[in-house]
Structure 1
Amino acid sequence: MIPLQVHHLPPPFLISQTTPLHSLSPTSQTVKFSPKPNPFSSSPILLSNPPCKFLRAAGIQTSSLCRNEEEGTEISTELEDLSPDGVVYKKTLALVECSMFAALTGLVYFLSNSLAIEDYFGCFFSLPIVITSMRWGIATGRKTMVATTMLLLVLSGPVKALTYLLKHGLVGFTMGSLWRLGANWSLSIFLCTIVRSLGAVGYVLILSFLISENILALITINIHASLTFIFTASGIYSVPSMEAIYALFGTLVFINSGSFMFLLHLLYSVFLTRLGMKASLRLPRWLEKAI
């Protein structure tokens, strides 16, 4: 029989619970221990390089905290944009107000044409464009004018849409733009009068094309006949030229448009003042004292 040879192995290095930590050598940075605990020792403590794990966990926590801070910043930015003073909220409110004014104006204009009461509400068709231009800017007033014209194009056809654009849309856009820029009344009335006069002439030309008849020629011929009769009755035997008739016709259209725009400026100023927009208006001194 082969005798059994027993080799005495050195016991593993173990630290019991009663061993103080300050007794360990501070110069030993890494200490290797046996992965298998001694079954005869009570509750051994095995140390296995924990600082690296703690540092790695600390790095994960730091990165997660930074990520949470970035996400919180993004969320707070979105919430600020959706606040009543944010840019997104104001743009949405301007778009909703523009669409509501366009729908209301188109519906009222369509019903007034259908019921033949357009002359009673004609002075209010340019007001929504002026209000949106004063509140949200010139671009919003232009959007209101275009949206109303497109709505009338769908509801009533191209003739009513062009009529609204020439007689009311361009006038309201010009007035709202000038008031938004802070122009005085004299300049605003003069430019709006020109736009109104051109719109009236354009409206007559459209009607002339639709009925295949030159309405301007009929108007000038009637004016020429009336003046000739007046001169003959007065003892003046002279016939006015057609150039004088055209000049007289243009002057009458300009005076008519100017008086209408003056009354429209006066009406809109009082109406916007009652709406609480007096600070945005540049009114004459006599009107400020009267209001």
Structure 2
Amino acid sequence: MNLLTLRVHNKPLFFHIPQNTPPLSSLSAPNFLNLQPKIPFKSTPFSIPTFKNILNVSKIKASVFNNEEAKDTAEFEDLTTNGVVYQKTLRLVECSMFAAVTGLVYFLSNSLNIENYFGCFFSLPIVISSMRWGVAAGRKTMVATAMLLVVLSGPVKALTYLLTHGLVGFTMGSLWRLGVNWGPSIFLCAVARSMGAVGYVLTSSFLIRENILALITINIHASLTFLFAATGINTVPSMNFIYALFGTLVLLNSAFFVFLLHLLYSMFLTRLGMKASLKLPRWLERAMK
């Protein structure tokens, strides 16, 4: 029977002290109260801030302020005349103004039936945009003009502008921007105008439900047959010959028109101060001096 067993109200309370427990006098307060295992404590040395540390902190702050000032100056330089933001904004404004003026003039000329008097100037804004800001700017000007004409006068007039003037202006502006000579430029622009003319004829045929191209070739065939019979030539031209003759005549017509456009636009751009970016033939440079 354990002598340390107490009985209160007939309920035993057990307070058991193991025999191997050291006496309280040998227990220190920190060891007695600490129930967790001991962790070696490493004291961190307290460093007094020196003048060198203060200089390093000031350098860090100065570098932060210098970076912020550099960003501010970079943003300010973008808004200057030669800055990237200013140049992009100027290109967007010029392309928009060229597209708006071209669309308005084309709409008014169609409404007043004076398109034949201003037809040679409808491709000029696309050429100027391509020469000043690149091929992409000329393409954007052409597309913006077509979209404006869709709103003003419908898709038929917009398609007519693209086929008769937009393709020629974009081709000419792109070739002049790339520095191509007049020979290949006139040939490629003539091909573009010929394709636009044939596309315009096919579009008109679809709208009026009549094959205009077949009517043109049949009339050419009848005229040549009558001419051969009048001159005593007993031959009848084939339709393949008629098609080849029709394509050649359209290409020659387009080549003469494009050559006149080259002369007109070169003189106009020279007056605008863009002669350095043009690649003119020698005979034209001598005539313009």
Amino acid at match of 2:262: H
Amino acid at match of 1:98: C
Are positions 1:128 and 2:125 aligned together?
yes
User: Residue 89 of structure 1: SS of its match in structure 2?
Assistant: helix
Q: Aligned residue for 2:186?
A: 189
Amino acid at match of 1:87: V
User: Residue 182 of structure 1: SS of its match in structure 2?
Assistant: coil
Amino acid at match of 2:206: F
CA distance in 1, matches of 2:52, 2:224: 105
- Identify which range, 51-60 or 144-153, moves more after superposition: 51-60
For 1:219-234, what aligned pairs fall within 5 Å after superposition? 219-234=216-231
Q: Aligned residue for 1:92?
A: 89
Match of 2:68 among 53, 67, 71: 71
For 1:44-123, what aligned pairs fall within 5 Å after superposition? 52=49, 61-123=58-120
Amino acid at match of 1:84: T
TM-score (norm 1): 0.80
CA distance in 1, matches of 2:160, 2:264: 22
Deviation at 1:142, TM superposition (A): 0.7
**Deviation string, structure 1 residues 223-249 (Cα, Å, up to 9, x no partner):** 111112212222223221111111111
Aligned sequence identity (%): 73
Q: Aligned residue for 2:158?
A: 161
CA distance in 1, matches of 2:205, 2:74: 58
CA distance in 2, matches of 1:52, 1:191: 78
For 1:264-279, what aligned pairs fall within 5 Å after superposition? 264-279=261-276
Deviation at 1:133, TM superposition (A): 0.4
TM-score (norm 2): 0.80
CA distance in 2, matches of 1:54, 1:278: 65
Structure 1: where are the runs of 5+ without partners?
A: 1-50
Amino acid at match of 1:145: M
Structure 2: where are the runs of 5+ without partners?
A: 1-47
**Deviation string, structure 1 residues 20-49 (Cα, Å, up to 9, x no partner):** xxxxxxxxxxxxxxxxxxxxxxxxxxxxxx
CA distance in 1, matches of 2:249, 2:199: 16
- Name the Cα RMSD after superposition: 1.8
Deviation at 1:200, TM superposition (A): 0.2
**Deviation string, structure 1 residues 199-236 (Cα, Å, up to 9, x no partner):** 00000000000000000000011111111221222222
Q: Aligned residue for 1:247?
A: 244
Q: Aligned residue for 1:27?
A: none
- Identify which range, 234-243 or 76-85, moves more after superposition: 234-243
Q: Aligned residue for 2:277?
A: 280
